[in-house]
Structure 1
Amino acid sequence: MRSSAGILVASASKRRADAKDNTLFIDLVRDLHWINSDIAAAGYPLVQAAGLLSSSRIRNALPAGAPR
């Protein structure tokens, strides 16, 4: 049977491990966001030069049943 002090030490150790895992996950997501931003920034001029960039991402669609 474990003592209450042993349980508290194990619990504190688990919280530290969880905090470390959370920090690692946040760092990973931040770095992936940074990589995505770099790729988008590098690709934007290429897409624009090729004439594939729309002036707007909003469609000019009419609602169903509306007169044209």
Structure 2
Amino acid sequence: MAGYVTIGKGVHFGIGASVIQGINIGKWAVIGAGAVVIKDVPDYGVVVGNPGSVIKFAEKHKTYTP
């Protein structure tokens, strides 16, 4: 992580991922192993590659009530 990176709640980072300065990563996003993030990541975005790109959106966590 470079400086001034904002990381939302529940974000997961794969090993070796890199994020340049000033990036915002939305809540529950997933950053793949070795990804190089150079753009903001939206909520629930799944990012892979170099440069990183959003390939899909993760399912929102569901709450179940009995």
Normalising by structure 2, report the TM-score: 0.23
The structure showing larger relative contact order (alpha-carbon pairs under 8 Å, at least 6 residues apart) is 2
Q: Which has the larger radius of gyration?
A: 1
Normalising by structure 1, report the TM-score: 0.22
Between Structure 1 and Structure 2, the one with more strand by share is: 2
